[in-house]
């Protein structure tokens, strides 16, 4: 079996590679999720703001709500890479 | 601080004879917020109607309209007028009477002349365009008309065609389309038309000119040039007039705006046949001054009542009452919503925390100095924008200074280490040469962020309790609402106690102080934590059991949301370090070893990467550094206690720039 023939260094290298892939997936996938969420909110927010400029503050808040998802992804990636 | 400016409800009543002096006096003080009278036909209000504007209001409005139209011709705007010369209002009114008709006549004769010239230019150009295709046909223009039994067709066609009747045809293929002129006997015209239509024929108007095409085109060109000259002359004259009269017009605009506003003020009053009542609000500390001034102006023929009866919170105008350093943050408050009168005004927290959080996120000496530079470059533009621009200017300055200070503490300058080790937390990542062993203190940054979150949410709930106490009507509902807020805090702290009873955070991170931990007494702490959570849930459920559904978002998610402070900051450092790595380690440093033509090119590429990369990061820093702290306040903090929706205090009167009474 290939796994049995791995040296310790190779195994560590493999592990850090997987960690990096995991971190990338964490940020990338959550980024897509955030994008999907913000897509429709953003469109509606722009519409609402065009109708009434006073809506801008609230519209901004609503638009950045899904951003939390990608931030959590980023936190997970940071924890994977540096802890 | 935390409170808007105290307001007093005033009712001013007098006979209509005193209306002008009362209005003038109120207008002069610029502190009285008028509540518009709405004629709802309520009981006890019989015979009370909305007032009518003063007699001369119509004339004033007409004059103002004239001035605005002149301003639009000159393309000036009083609000952006810079060289301010203050003149007495009386001289301006005299100028409106004596000079305005003259200026108006002068300008309108010029604009009429200009628009005629403009029309002529357009017409000539159109004729020239229409004649152009005929230039290719070797016929004089008179030959296209005046026949008894011949029909002439001219226009564009998709391709050349054969016409099956006796005819004369001129066909010219061209880039803009194929031009065709056909002369046929009128008796065959219907058939020919059909044949032409089949080939996609589009007719053009036959020329009415005489002589050769070129002669006609030349004639129109000359005419067009003459009209253009007239048009340009008019423009020059208008610019001259603008230079001469722009200041005066701005002053006239201001004086007339004031006069119109005063003349139309009765539209906001309640009036009877003989008397009127003005309902409004005034800062409590100004009451005596204004009442005395009103009495004096009317010879004590005015009746002022201070109404201290309970009024709906939403009917009271709200004016911020913040220390000067907190004023810029009012920008963010108004972006969300003005606080209600009895609500806690959190401006001061935003004023202190926004720059701190911005600095915590971006934290780079280089970027901080760049933001400072940016603020100074934008200074003139922002200050011109009025109050809002001034606030924005100081917000940027605050954020820039804080970013610089955090940059010194983190030891960062455009992503590069400063000569000292980071003083608070290290955010240097293992990217680039010499940084292989860098280890950012991610856990410490995350814990600090979450601790901040816990404090924010707890304070928010505490403010919520105060708001419910002050704004709700006394009774069981209020008690339940306050208990519910307290319950949420119990749940939050209960979860913390539970977590700390099983995890010792000190094992994972290094702070100059020991973090509290209950791992030594897990059972007791666990029980206390669980009891806190259960009691908290009960308190929340007493008000509304459905609220418990929000438990995951309201506590955990909101608390963890503060992680963004650390995460966005680290990503900004990562971008800066990657840009430096690309520019220096891949391009500039290797090229420096053997400097030749290729090396110089590589250095140029490196410098471009460096500039573009950091420019991108500066822009992202503004977005991330500003939007995330604001969002944390709006979503995680304000939702705990803040409603907003107060009326903005708009005192009756206009701030004068160009004139004085």
Mean pLDDT of B342-354: 94
Question: How is chain A split into domains, by residue range?
Answer: 11-82
Compute CA distances B595 → A19, B603, B608, whole Å: 40, 9, 18
pLDDT for residue B576:
93
Band of residue B641 on the pLDDT scale cut at 50, 70, 90: very high
pLDDT at B405 over 80: yes
Asked if A10 has any chain B CB less than 8 Å from its own CB, the reply is no
Mean pLDDT of B66-71: 89
Nearest to B627 among A64, A72, A75 (CB): A64
Asked if B509 has any chain A CB less than 8 Å from its own CB, the reply is no
Rounded CA-CA distance B519/B526 in Å is: 10
Contacts 24+ apart (CB under 8 A), B383-388: B384/B80, B384/B82, B386/B79, B388/B331
Asked if B442 has any chain A CB less than 8 Å from its own CB, the reply is yes
pLDDT for residue B83:
63
Band of residue A2 on the pLDDT scale cut at 50, 70, 90: low
Band of residue B481 on the pLDDT scale cut at 50, 70, 90: very high
Q: What is the CATH number of domain A11-82?
A: 1.20.20.10
Share of residues in chain B with pLDDT > 70 (%): 99
Chain centre to alpha carbon of residue B120: 41
Crossing angle between the packed helical segments B387-410 and B597-631, to the nearest 10 degrees: 120
Nearest to B563 among A64, A71, A83 (CB): A71
pLDDT at B48 over 80: yes
Mean predicted lDDT score pLDDT of chain B: 89
Nearest CA in chain B to A69: B561
Mean pLDDT of B576-603: 90
pLDDT at B419 over 60: yes
Crossing angle between the packed helical segments B564-580 and A67-82, to the nearest 10 degrees: 70
Sheet of B178-185, strand order: B167-172, B178-185, B150-157, B202-203
Rounded CA-CA distance B43/B34 in Å is: 22
Ranking A72-81, B242-251, B336-345 by mean pLDDT, the lowest is: B242-251
Which residues 329-348 of B have a C-beta within 8 angstroms of A?
332, 334-337
pLDDT tens per residue, range B437-475: 888 888 999 999 999 999 999 999 999 999 999 988 889
pLDDT for residue B410:
93
pLDDT at B221 over 80: yes
Mean pLDDT of B615-619: 94
pLDDT at B514 over 90: no
Chain B residues lying within 8 Å of A62, measured CB to CB: none
Nearest to B571 among A68, A74, A83 (CB): A74
Asked if B510 has any chain A CB less than 8 Å from its own CB, the reply is no
Min Cα–Cα distance to chain A from B29, Å:
29
pLDDT tens per residue, range A16-67: 999 999 999 999 999 999 999 999 999 999 999 999 887 887 787 788 888 8
pLDDT for residue B350:
94
Neighbours of A47 (CB within 10 A): 11
pLDDT for residue A3:
57
Looking at chain A, list the stretches that DSSP marks H as alpha helix, in order from N- to C-terminal side. Answer: 8-51, 56-64, 67-82
**Cross-chain residue pair B635–A61, CB shorter than 8 Å:** yes
Neighbours of B508 (CB within 10 A): 13
**Cross-chain residue pair A75–B566, CB shorter than 8 Å:** yes
pLDDT for residue B431:
86
Radius of gyration of chain A (CA): 20
What are B88's strand-pairing partners?
B660
pLDDT at B355 over 90: yes
Min Cα–Cα distance to chain A from B641, Å:
16
Min Cα–Cα distance to chain A from B640, Å:
15
pLDDT tens per residue, range B127-173: 998 888 888 888 888 888 888 888 999 999 888 888 888 888 888 88
Asked if B508 has any chain A CB less than 8 Å from its own CB, the reply is yes
Mean pLDDT of B499-517: 87
Nearest CA in chain B to A79: B442
pLDDT at B345 over 80: yes
Using an 8 Å Cβ cutoff, are B458 and B489 in contact?
Answer: yes
Using an 8 Å Cβ cutoff, are B19 and B266 in contact?
Answer: yes
pLDDT tens per residue, range B200-217: 889 888 888 888 888 999
Chain B residues lying within 8 Å of A68, measured CB to CB: 557, 561, 564
pLDDT for residue A24:
95
Nearest CA in chain B to A77: B567
pLDDT at B565 over 70: yes
Min Cα–Cα distance to chain B from A16, Å:
14
pLDDT at B337 over 70: yes
Chain A residues lying within 8 Å of B446, measured CB to CB: 75, 78-79
**Cross-chain residue pair A57–B446, CB shorter than 8 Å:** no
Rounded CA-CA distance A47/B434 in Å is: 50
pLDDT at B266 over 80: yes
pLDDT at B282 over 90: yes
**Cross-chain residue pair A78–B570, CB shorter than 8 Å:** yes
Which residue in B402, B391, B369, B378 sits closest to B322, CA to CA? B391
Mean pLDDT of B624-630: 89
Neighbours of B200 (CB within 10 A): 14
Min Cα–Cα distance to chain B from A55, Å:
8
Asked if A71 has any chain B CB less than 8 Å from its own CB, the reply is yes
Band of residue B370 on the pLDDT scale cut at 50, 70, 90: very high
Share of residues in chain B with pLDDT > 90 (%): 44
pLDDT tens per residue, range B89-139: 888 888 888 888 888 898 999 999 999 999 999 999 999 988 888 888 888
Min Cα–Cα distance to chain A from B336, Å:
5
Min Cα–Cα distance to chain A from B27, Å:
27
**Cross-chain residue pair B634–A61, CB shorter than 8 Å:** yes
Asked if B577 has any chain A CB less than 8 Å from its own CB, the reply is no
């Amino acid at each position: 079996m290939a796994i049995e023939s791995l040296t310790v260094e190779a195994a560590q290298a493999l592990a850090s590679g997987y960690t990096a892939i995991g971190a990338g997936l964490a940020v990338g996938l959550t980024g897509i999720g955030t994008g999907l969420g913000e897509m429709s909110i953003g469109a509606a927010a722009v519409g609402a703001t065009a109708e009434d400029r006073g809506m801008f503050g609230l519209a901004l808040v609503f638009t950045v709500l899904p951003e939390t998802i990608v931030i959590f992804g980023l936190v997970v990636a940071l924890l994977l890479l540096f802890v | 601080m935390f409170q808007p400016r105290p307001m007093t409800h005033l009712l001013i009543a007098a006979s209509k004879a005193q209306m002008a002096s009362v209005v003038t006096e109120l207008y002069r003080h610029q502190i009285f917020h008028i509540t518009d009278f709405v004629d709802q036909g309520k009981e006890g209000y019989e015979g009370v109607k909305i007032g009518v504007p003063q007699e001369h209001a119509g004339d004033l409005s007409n004059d103002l309209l004239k001035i605005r139209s002149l301003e639009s011709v000159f393309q000036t705007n009083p609000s952006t007028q810079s060289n301010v010369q203050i003149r007495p209002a009386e001289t301006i009114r005299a100028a409106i009477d004596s000079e305005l008709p003259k200026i108006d006549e002068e300008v309108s004769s010029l604009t009429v002349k200009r628009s005629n010239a403009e029309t002529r230019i357009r017409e000539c150009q159109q004729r020239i365009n229409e004649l152009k295709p005929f230039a290719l046909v070797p016929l004089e223009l008179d030959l296209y008309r005046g026949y008894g039994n011949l029909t002439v067709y001219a226009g564009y066609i998709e391709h050349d065609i054969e016409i099956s009747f006796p005819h004369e045809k001129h066909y010219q293929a061209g880039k803009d389309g194929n031009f065709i002129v056909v002369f046929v006997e009128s008796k065959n015209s219907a058939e020919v038309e059909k044949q032409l239509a089949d080939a996609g024929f589009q007719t053009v108007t036959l020329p009415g000119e005489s002589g050769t095409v070129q002669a006609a085109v030349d004639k129109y060109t000359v005419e067009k040039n003459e009209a253009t000259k007239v048009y340009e002359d008019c423009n020059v004259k208008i610019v001259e007039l603008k230079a001469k009269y722009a200041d005066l017009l701005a002053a006239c605009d201001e004086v007339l705006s004031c006069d119109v506003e005063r003349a139309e003020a009765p539209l906001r009053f309640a009036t009877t046949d003989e008397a009127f009542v003005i309902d409004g609000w005034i800062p409590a500390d100004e009451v005596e001054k204004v009442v005395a001034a009103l009495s004096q102006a009317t010879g004590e023929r005015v009746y002022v009542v201070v109404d201290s009866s309970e009024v709906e919170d939403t009917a009271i105008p709200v004016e911020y009452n913040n220390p000067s350093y907190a004023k810029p943050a009012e920008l963010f408050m108004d972006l969300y919503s003005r606080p209600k009168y009895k609500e806690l005004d959190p401006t001061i927290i935003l004023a202190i925390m926004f720059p701190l959080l911005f600095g915590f996120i971006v934290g780079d000496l280089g970027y901080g100095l760049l933001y400072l530079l940016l603020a100074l470059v934008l200074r003139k533009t922002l200050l011109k924008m009025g109050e809002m621009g001034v606030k924005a200017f100081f917000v940027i300055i605050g954020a820039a200074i804080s970013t610089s200070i955090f940059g010194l503490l983190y030891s960062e300058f455009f992503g590069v280490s400063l000569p000292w080790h980071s003083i608070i937390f290290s955010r240097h990542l293992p990217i680039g040469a010499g940084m292989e062993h860098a280890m950012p203190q991610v856990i410490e940054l995350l814990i600090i962020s979450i601790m901040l979150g816990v404090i924010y949410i707890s304070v928010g709930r505490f403010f919520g309790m105060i708001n419910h106490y002050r704004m709700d009507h006394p009774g069981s509902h209020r008690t339940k609402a306050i208990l519910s807020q307290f319950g949420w805090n119990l749940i939050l702290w209960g979860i913390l106690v539970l977590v700390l009873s099983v995890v010792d955070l000190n094992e994972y991170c290094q702070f100059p102080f020991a973090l509290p931990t209950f791992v030594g007494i897990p059972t007791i702490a666990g029980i206390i934590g669980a009891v806190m959570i259960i009691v908290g849930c009960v308190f929340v459920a007493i008000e509304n059991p459905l609220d418990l559904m929000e438990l995951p978002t309201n506590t955990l998610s909101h608390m963890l949301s503060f992680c963004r402070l650390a995460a966005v900051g680290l990503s900004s450092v990562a971008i800066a370090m990657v840009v430096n790595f690309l520019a220096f380690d891949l391009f500039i440093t290797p090229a420096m070893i053997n400097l030749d033509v290729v090396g110089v090119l590589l250095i140029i590429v490196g410098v471009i990467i460096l500039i573009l990369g950091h420019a991108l990061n500066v822009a992202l820093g503004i977005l991330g550094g500003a939007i995330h702290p604001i969002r944390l306040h709006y979503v995680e903090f304000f939702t705990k206690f803040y409603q907003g929706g107060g009326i903005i205090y708009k005192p009756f009167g206009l701030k004068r720039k160009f004139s004085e009474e």
